[in-house]
Structure 1
Amino acid sequence: MAATQSPLRIFIVEDDHFYGELLKRHLELNPDNEVFLFQTGKECLDNLYKKPDVISLDYGLPDMRGDRVLKKIKEDYPDLPVIIVSGQEDIQTAVGLLKAGAYDYFVKDYDTKDRLWNAVNNIRQHKNLRVELDSLKNELGKKYAFRNIIKGNSPPLKKVFDRMDKAIRSNITVSITGETGTGKELVAKAIHYNSPRAKKPFIPINVSAIPNELIESELFGYEKGAFTGADTRKIGKFELANGGTLFLDEVAEMDMNMQTKLLRVIQEKELTRIGGHEVIKIDVRLIVATHRNLAEEVKKGNFRQDLYYRLLGLPIELPPLRNRGLDIILLAKHFAEQYCKENGLEPKVFTKKAQDKLMSYSYPGNVRELAAIVELATVMSDGNVIDAGDIQFSSAGLPSDILLEETTLADYNQKIIRYFLEKYDGNVVMTAKKLGIGKSTLYRMLKNKNI
């Protein structure tokens, strides 16, 4: 029998010394098993400080019955696997012990040692999986360290980091706002994986991507037979996130009827699956996000005011990329390095003209758009240099922010002309043609430094 990698500490509680030694020696055929033999329930309980990974427990002990020992073990170590070994085949007793939390129930016979061997190996595999899962979750925490996922040093971003730092120190609901592409889900993940809930689930759901008639079953689940097509029970996102974090993206898209149901679940911290009667207690941290102004949606009557105050919590507003200054270059270099590694390319650097061109654009698609632009540029460029000509802006229309602030007609004209000059790489003839003005007019504006 080949030795496994992870050591396992096993307690055998058996008043028949000969039979106990038989089980002990059989399990010790695997050198990674560390086996302790006890003859009474008290000895077992007194040694629980040694933190066994599994206990084989005789039901008929001289000082106390196995069910009493099991109960005492489960009071302090509810997740510790306990296998009951009994000299009698009593179905009613076996069922009662399994309901009380026993891992399994074996009747003493010639095959018991082999069944115990198989059960111990299964427990070992589950232990290894838990260790691996904890390790992966720790790595996720490192991966989602703030500055590992959100690149930048601009003052607006430092304010975001400060808010995120406050968010991970408490269990408060977090509301994230910002334009599409600013990284709202990344911020939500960073908060979760740096919080005390990091080893519990992070469950994201995009409200806008789910039809109104299905969102209730997605969030709260349903019982088998609740409606036509409900062939099995479905566990909803709230239950899946129990102990962890539920991220509701684009929460402003939820209809008023569903908002009412969501409010009740948040207030009562409990839910009932569709078609069910069981009341399920939940412990879920909420992080919500939207690109809309929720306060304005309340004024318009599109969003419940009481739900708004429940969800507002700690607000974090993500700045658009155009307001983050040199973060644009820092991010571009990061994306270029990332894409070169992924595509097996030599590292590439941006020329001064390329950097100037990147800084001149408004990025209506924010960080997501910049990532796509840089990825294309790494492919289009020759050698290890990315020049201005390798950078292509693909926005079909005017930038989304062009009318965000009130200004003069002359300023609007300048913004529009600058946009098309950027789009056509400074080609005055093409820009004049697209805008329906004479090229001499455009040249004059450039000469007079109006643009």
Structure 2
Amino acid sequence: MSLKLLPQPLKIFILDDDAFFVKALAHFLNLNPDNTVKPFLDAKSLFANIHEQPDVITLDYQMPGMDGAQVLKKIRSINENIKVIVISSQEKVKVAVELLNNGAYDYLVKGEDPTETHTLLWDLLTKIANAKRLEARVEELQEQVAQRYDYSKFLIGKDASIATIYSLIEKACKTNITVSITGETGTGKEMVAKAIHYNSERKKAPFVAVNVAAIPKELIESELFGYEKGAFTGAHSRRIGKFEEANGGTLFLDEIGELELSLQAKLLRIVQEREVSRIGGNEIVPLNIRIIVATHKNLLEEAKKKTFREDLYYRLMGLPIQLPPLRDRGNDVILLALHFTDLFVKENKLPKKTLSQDARQKLLKHPFPGNVRELKSVMELACVMSDDLNTIDAEHITLYNTSTIDDLLNQERTLKEYEHQIIQYFLDKYNNDVLLVAKKLDVGKSTLYRMIQAGELKVK
């Protein structure tokens, strides 16, 4: 008999007073080498070991002393998460139904051919193992979400503005009100949106983020609303839009101020009616979503200039959250710098580092046009530049002059783009000395040569 390995190892107890049956079943279950299988010939021995918390117990109904119903009841009283599969030669339907009603996972009849019983049992164990694996994954993701989106951990600061933001996030989490987040680039608008979603009742549903400014104008409509097969040239199959993808959860529309006026009218109707239809289709799809929008623009001013619909502005305003620029948060710059330093050295197994007084003063004097995102990049580079030293000094902190390095951190960029720009800066600074730059940035020289060959870096 060939078997597929279980998707998740199981700890299985066997309880049966038939020693031959127990031995045969244990041998069968051990064909999956990752399983832990323990046989018992009486209930007393089983309960003496039940503290080991098995995933599954196979149970004979006709046992001396305690019958199967009594054993099942006691197992359930100790740990109702244990899956009990009754395997018995008695064939009374009434007894089987009663056991199932009392919490048995399933009931198998011992047949003359043990192979049939084993096959049915293996199918049940596969279902249990799949469920266990899924539960473990859900718990892992929930733990990650809880750690990642505890906003008291990522919105670090003692400035009064941060306390106000905490309060607004808490209010947003308790309701489904539309939220509008404003603030300069790099202040953490998407992180606030995620904090609201993952601390709300919708946290188990999708969080779908769309950067309106990053999608070409000719594609934004189909990206948001989806389309039917044949709706236009190239539409070879139906595509679900971001609104449908976020159904039940949260749709985060970043840089909403960049949306074209023609699409603003369609967005207004969807926000009002809470329903969407795909391009080229007539089907109306009801929506149960929360909408969070973000922008670095003043939408009210844009509405006055007729570049943003005033009626849409009032629909989307909802609960406004204004994120302050880092330069207005005083000593929070130092708190955040220490936080990013601790994260980086921990992730890269470097010695713990502190900031010298000169380094602190240098950070406090810088305007940080790229806000928190810029500070994070600066501190990660400072950790690298300080090598094995325990103190980051002013000389290790590289602050970019936007007049000489055009527009650094003033735009939404990917981490890879920032990485390219930083490396290019040092190549220029050290006259294209690849070996020196590789040593300074702790980057493999082969990596730099490969990036140069691919045209990602320029050697003048």
**1:256-292 residue CA offsets vs partner (Å, 9 max, x unmatched):** 1111111111111111222223221111111110000
Q: Which residue of 2 aligns with 1:47?
A: 101
In structure 2, the partner of 1:34 is 84
8 Å contact kept, 1:362–1:399: no
- How far 1:41 sits from its partner (Å)? 13
State whether structure 2 residue 296 is matched by structure 1 residue 291.
yes
The aligned amino acid for 1:395 is N
Choose from 311, 318, 332 the match for 1:327: 332
Match of 2:349 in 1: 344
**Aligned counterpart in structure 2 of residue 190 of structure 1, from 187, 195, 212:** 195
* 1:207 is the counterpart of 2:212: yes
Displacement after TM superposition at 1:115 (Å): 6.6
Amino acid at match of 2:213: S
Q: Is the 8 A contact 2:96 2:107 kept in 1?
A: no
**SS class of match (1:378):** helix
Cα 1:113–1:215, aligned 2, differ >3 Å: closer, same or farther?
farther
CA 1:262–1:113: 2 relative to 1, 3 Å: farther
Shift of the 276–155 alpha-carbon distance from structure 1 to 2, 3 Å rule, reads: same
Deviation per CA, 1:43-70, whole angstroms, max 9, x where unpaired? 589938x4x8x7799xxxxxxxxxxxxx
* Deviations 1:64-102, CA, capped at 9 Å, x for gaps: xxxxxxxxxxxxxxxxxxxxxxxxxxxxxxxxxxxxxxx
The whole-number CA distance in structure 2 between the counterparts of 1:265 and 1:120 is 46
Q: Relative to structure 2, which stretch is displaced further, 195-204 or 135-144?
A: 135-144
Return closer, same or farther for 1:266/1:134 CA change in 2, 3 Å cut-off.
farther
Select which of 156, 173, 188 maps to 2:178: 173
Equivalent residue number for residue 229 of structure 1: 234
Distance (whole Å) between structure 1 residues aligned to residue 309 and residue 342 of structure 2: 45
**SS at the partner of 2:220?**
helix
Instruction: Please report how far the alpha carbon of residue 324 of structure 1 lies from its aligned counterpart in structure 2 after TM superposition.
Output: 0.3
Partner of 2:396: 390
Q: Alignment partner for residue 360 of structure 1, among 365, 370, 378?
A: 365
Output aligned runs, 1:8-27, within 5 Å.
none
After TM superposition, give the deviation of residue 170 of structure 1 in Å: 1.0
SS of 2:210's equivalent? strand
2:268 to 226, 248, 263: 263
Q: 1:143 deviation in Å?
A: 2.2
- Flag the 1:153–1:130 CA change in 2: closer, same or farther, 3 A: same
The 1-side partners of 2:298 and 2:288 are apart by 28
Q: Distance in 1 between matches of 2:99 and 2:312?
A: 50
Q: CA deviation at 1:116?
A: 7.7
Alpha-carbon distance, 1:314 to partner: 0.3
Q: 1:127 to 1:180 in 2, by over 3 A?
A: same
Counterpart among 257, 266, 269 of residue 252 in structure 1: 257
Give the aligned partner of residue 377 of structure 2: 372
Q: Contact 1:175 / 1:315 at 8 angstroms: preserved in 2?
A: yes
- Where does the alignment leave 5 or more consecutive residues of structure 2 unmatched? 1-28, 37-52, 59-81, 109-114, 407-460
Distance 2:84 2:196 in 1: 40
Residue 129 (structure 1) aligns with = 134
- Give the match for residue 300 of structure 1: 305
For 1:44-193, what aligned pairs fall within 5 Å after superposition? 47=101, 50=103, 114=119, 117-118=122-123, 121-122=126-127, 124-126=129-131, 128-193=133-198
CA contact (8 A) 1:144 1:190 kept: yes
Distance 2:128 2:236 in 1: 32
Go from structure 1 to structure 2 and tell me whether the alpha carbon gap of 1:173 and 1:127 turns closer, same or farther (over 3 Å shift).
farther
> Displacement of 1:216 after TM fit?
1.7
Amino acid paired to 1:202: F
Query: Structure 2: how far apart are the matches of 1:181 and 1:324?
Result: 14
User: TM-score if structure 1 supplies the norm length?
Assistant: 0.65
Scaled by the length of structure 2, the TM-score of the pair is 0.64
